[in-house]
Structure 1
């Protein structure tokens, strides 16, 4: 089995990692902060010039959650899977008081309560660029049903 890097148009910071790797039927998604392409471009440019990173934009918490979850969904689907095939999710919140707002949005990315993956949620001491959250995941790519032999 070879390792495949999954690209899905999700903005990248130019850091020393890949956002999503598929190995066999397993998926590994790096911690995803709520970075949109404009901010990632500024971050890459600052790194290239050897300058400090730009400040993270002041985005509402709910917007940050949707950015992260949309990016997670895009990566999982680009790998040939879906959100219901996630097995483990780890969530770092900058402020645990936002857990209920996070959970309301998070649940909407899965088809049912039974499809929810295992999850760890913790308060981060510090998140990338002081954003509100970061989410990472492990999942699998479902196998197509086996063809039934003709009778």
Structure 2
């Protein structure tokens, strides 16, 4: 089985030395996703190309950052042929663990039921990419058709 890189126009790329999502067989591996929108990613890619320091991360409300990350996770999982209920393991790094309730409230809305929630680890990060509020990575599978 070959490794397949999953891309979607719905999720901007930073130009970093990794792929955001990889599918191998029926398994999906999603890299840590920070809340970077296309405008910020474009500025980050340009700075990297010029050998300059990265631009400062914009001051976005925490809830907005969570929705960006979760929307990007959903888009990548769906581009790989799966859905959020097929995630098996999610790892969440919060810049401030005191925001866990706000995170969980939004996070739950991306799954169809409590039974569909994946295994998860949530911890406070020592440092997040560009000092954003969170980063989320996941492992899941692609369901078999007709089964």
1:92 is paired with a residue of what secondary structure?
strand
TM-superposed deviation, 1:38: 0.1
Q: How far apart, CA to CA, are the structure 1 residues paired with 2:78 and 2:45? A: 26
Q: How many residues were matched structurally? A: 145
Q: Secondary structure at the match of 1:62?
A: helix
Q: CA RMSD in A?
A: 2.0
User: Could you tell me how far 1:137 is from its partner in structure 2?
Assistant: 0.0
The Cα of 1:18 is off from its aligned counterpart by 0.2
TM-superposed CA distance for 1:28, in Å, is 0.1
Alignment partners' CA distance in 2, 1:80 and 1:51? 37
How many Å apart are 1:14 and its aligned residue?
0.1
- Show the counterpart of 2:22: 21
User: Which residue does the alignment assign to 1:4?
Assistant: 4
Counterpart Cα distance in 2 of 1:53 and 1:81: 33
State the alpha-carbon separation in 1 of the partners of residues 22 and 100 from structure 2: 28
Distance apart, 1:113 and its partner CA: 0.1
Q: Deviations over 1:5-56 (max 9, x none)?
A: 0011310000000000000000000000000000000000000111100000
For the residues of structure 2 that align with 1:16 and 1:58, how far apart are their CA atoms?
25
- Aligned to 1:45, the other structure's residue is in SS state helix
- Runs of at least 5 residues in structure 1 that lack an aligned partner in the other structure: 144-149
Q: Which runs of 4+ in 1 moved over 6 A?
A: none
TM superposition shift of 1:121: 0.2
Larger radius of gyration: 1
Query: Counterpart of 1:109 in 2: which secondary structure?
Result: coil
- Give a deviation string over 1:102-128, Cα, whole Å, max 9, x none: 000000000000000000000000000
Take 1:31 and 1:53, find their aligned partners in 2: how far apart are those partners?
18
Q: Structure 2: 5+ residue runs without aligned partners?
A: none
